[in-house]
Structure 1
């Protein structure tokens, strides 16, 4: 018993010494304030990973706009508020614009592609992706026509279900996915295409896992947890399946490629690969092709379709707002033609509602993590090279400094006294700086055209009374998604 007591005292003494040395080192370095970390464990015993968004928001409330938490041995800087995020990502973008590490994504993509790459690879993949998206119509009439054509297909599917309750989740995902597929693969897929449906299910399942609390826990010790059963294995299996699917498309493209007439993004990439085949340091290789295609396929589907799903639920909750949009559609567009992007300029209320949906839905509250590529200072605090940085977009989109009643859904946040659309610098659902979402223009186009096309044709109902509809997100997720609901549609 005496030896056991001495051992316990020695352990307590050792831990105390280590904690003291750790804190002295932190004070000497001048790193941002935050809860005291334990050696090796960091702050993991103090964090509720099921509610990681609220935990990081509370860090800002307690320690200020620049705070630090240790997830295991990994220091993480948390930025709360528009001013400090702009200072980091815009004013000091060259230092803060590396992509932060997400263990599951890092293991799956191995640093390739456009979203999770860094350095020269990222610059080349982003430049290529942006130019190709623009060449194939992003922001132009040609892509607008594609979106409208898909909106017609979506309306036909809604029409088939008229008067019968249905979950719109999968139909919205299919419609949005088909737009990015037309750019990437040069084709759209039928809503009954079983192979395509299965791939979409793999994507949705992977998204749920990657945004779950388990993904954060996995990041604490990925090399160890890889040897333990868990949902992360499902993600890697899904990615392998999707890679095989994409590479089959690539082989088909190679066999029918006409370098003088590229049909889509894959063709353009294959042409670049041929042009740079003698360059030993080229980034145009099969690994970057696969991951870039998957990045665009994934990013071009999930967030936009989730926002549309949230939009329909919110309009069911607020029928008066829905009626105002119907009235604006009847006045500006009528029933004899399809909506166009030009109509948006004449429909300030509808545009304000869409802005407010994006703000309120707050789909990516943590933002995608960044990382510092050198030692730097922010607000006087020392931030070491390689530190992961989370821009808390939720503290910007739901900040009373910029939105008078941030927790309330109110299109008035984006309307002036004359009822015209007003801009707000804190409206940054696509993030800010050089890592801003490359599909912002496409998403804005899709949200307006899909939503107005649906409301032009249909009146929306639900199996619940408006006062009973809960528009708070599904709890315990790193991403905000609406609660499940059943939709009824009748002819407008």
Structure 2
């Protein structure tokens, strides 16, 4: 992992560092040891440090930029997926009624298709969905197990897997990890086989991250690109890109079910945009070019990310040298693992008054325009800031704007609204999004 730097006068000073907790000191070692024990590799982005991490991160960012991630190059495909998503919901409302649409699974598919398109070049089709939903079950169980008491203890002391009381949890963790790896290996192995039958000219320019990675292997420019390291790299991107976006969208819808005032205000803003686009003869789909005209909608997205607090603890960092912070208050030895606790910033009352309340207006200035708040750090910060930030922002904006152009979401039973509680402290929403969906 990279050096965890604490620059003066930065938001890092407001992070609570668990530097004296054995559990957190050992967490990064668990990440590496568990990966080695379960899968026998150290590849990818989240589980590497030093030169391998620098090379992989630079490659990932450069490749996604070249593929048009976060720009118009990918937007066209995302809007096509979004249109199909909306039409499917409308059809189900007509056929089954407004109470019986399983939105939770559709969101999973939409988010999964997006990240799958970036990594492998195609969205999920109908005949692949049973395998995909099985994969989702493994991913959700993994998150739940890692938040359990045995899971926490295995994080700190992987050798506990040899004792009966922990062996079952470890086997489940290992099984879930293996299933995700096997799911990813199918398109990887097929692509390798297909490329062996093609000349470089026949392949043309790379269309996805997998092609970019295989091109690096063939170019032999770095020892860190190998057939052995492909799956861990794809695993990191798929796990981070699918689950986080899907859960954030679920929370956004949930918060708007619970706060009809905010939802109505967002609908009014979208109506004004639609009238403007109609007068000028433009297509009704909301694109990234419209982002500046929807400050309140952007504020809703920001507030959702803040309140849902998707990643309360950032990824573990390890000091590469002895360090002192806060004027010597904290002495960090070389090699100690520390975790910046993002929630201490996102719920700081001095920065966000009434932090537990869902108030998108806190992200607007006196003129009603979106304002930048330095302490708003849902993607982390520093050199290990989320590599998929640009993609996630694009997905969240396009989904929110285009979905709520067509639908209003209401609780099934206003007297017993759904809960926004999380399951076991994980990122999993404790609801299957039971709601009324009114077409507008």
Same fold (TM over 0.5): yes
1:137 corresponding residue in structure 2: 68
Q: Deviations over 1:212-237 (max 9, x none)?
A: 44321212321232453323312212
2:251 corresponding residue in structure 1: 310
Q: 1:319, 1:406 → 2: CA distance?
A: 19
Q: 2:148, 2:399 → 1: CA distance?
A: 28
Q: How does 1:79-228 map to 2 (within 5 A)?
A: 101-102=30-31, 104-105=34-35, 107-108=37-38, 110-162=41-93, 163-193=98-128, 194-228=130-164
| 1:71 alignment partner, one of 6, 22, 31 | 22
Q: 2:354, 2:231 → 1: CA distance?
A: 44
Q: Deviations over 1:393-452 (max 9, x none)?
A: 001011112112211110121011121111100000000000000100111110110111
Mapped contact 1:338–1:453 kept (Cα < 8 A)? yes
Mapped contact 1:213–1:476 kept (Cα < 8 A)? no
| TM-aligned CA distance change 1:460 to 1:424, over 3 Å | same
Mapped contact 1:358–1:429 kept (Cα < 8 A)? yes
1:372 corresponding residue in structure 2: 319
- 1:484, distance to aligned residue in structure 2 (A): 4.0
- 1:254, distance to aligned residue in structure 2 (A): 2.0
Mapped contact 2:144–2:424 kept (Cα < 8 A)? no
| TM-aligned CA distance change 1:388 to 1:243, over 3 Å | same
| TM-aligned CA distance change 1:485 to 1:478, over 3 Å | closer
Q: Which runs of 5+ in 1 are unaligned?
A: 1-59, 78-98
| 1:267 alignment partner, one of 211, 218, 221 | 211
Q: How does 1:266-415 map to 2 (within 5 A)?
A: 266-276=210-220, 282-334=223-275, 337-379=284-326, 380=328, 381-415=330-364
Q: 2:36, 2:322 → 1: CA distance?
A: 22
SS state of the match for residue 182, structure 1? helix
- 1:372, distance to aligned residue in structure 2 (A): 1.2
Deviating above 6 A after TM superposition, structure 1's stretches of 4 or more consecutive aligned residues are: none
Q: 1:454, 1:363 → 2: CA distance?
A: 22
* 335-344 vs 352-361, greater mean Cα deviation: 335-344
- 1:479, distance to aligned residue in structure 2 (A): 3.7
| TM-aligned CA distance change 1:296 to 1:211, over 3 Å | farther
Mapped contact 2:147–2:424 kept (Cα < 8 A)? no
- 1:282, distance to aligned residue in structure 2 (A): 0.1
Q: Which runs of 5+ in 2 are unaligned?
A: 1-12
2:193 corresponding residue in structure 1: 255
**TM-score, length-normalised on structure 1?**
0.76
2:433 corresponding residue in structure 1: 485
| TM-aligned CA distance change 1:75 to 1:125, over 3 Å | closer
| TM-aligned CA distance change 1:171 to 1:209, over 3 Å | farther
Mapped contact 1:309–1:482 kept (Cα < 8 A)? no
Q: 1:226, 1:453 → 2: CA distance?
A: 51
SS state of the match for residue 372, structure 2? coil
Q: 1:270, 1:292 → 2: CA distance?
A: 12
1:230 corresponding residue in structure 2: 168
**TM-score, length-normalised on structure 2?**
0.85
Mapped contact 1:209–1:232 kept (Cα < 8 A)? no
> Superposition RMSD on alpha carbons, in Å?
2.5
Tell which structure's C-alpha radius of gyration is larger.
1
Q: Deviations over 1:330-355 (max 9, x none)?
A: 11135851110111101111111111
Q: 1:123, 1:459 → 2: CA distance?
A: 44
Q: Deviations over 1:152-174 (max 9, x none)?
A: 12213322432133443222111
SS state of the match for residue 320, structure 1? helix
* 338-347 vs 195-204, greater mean Cα deviation: 195-204
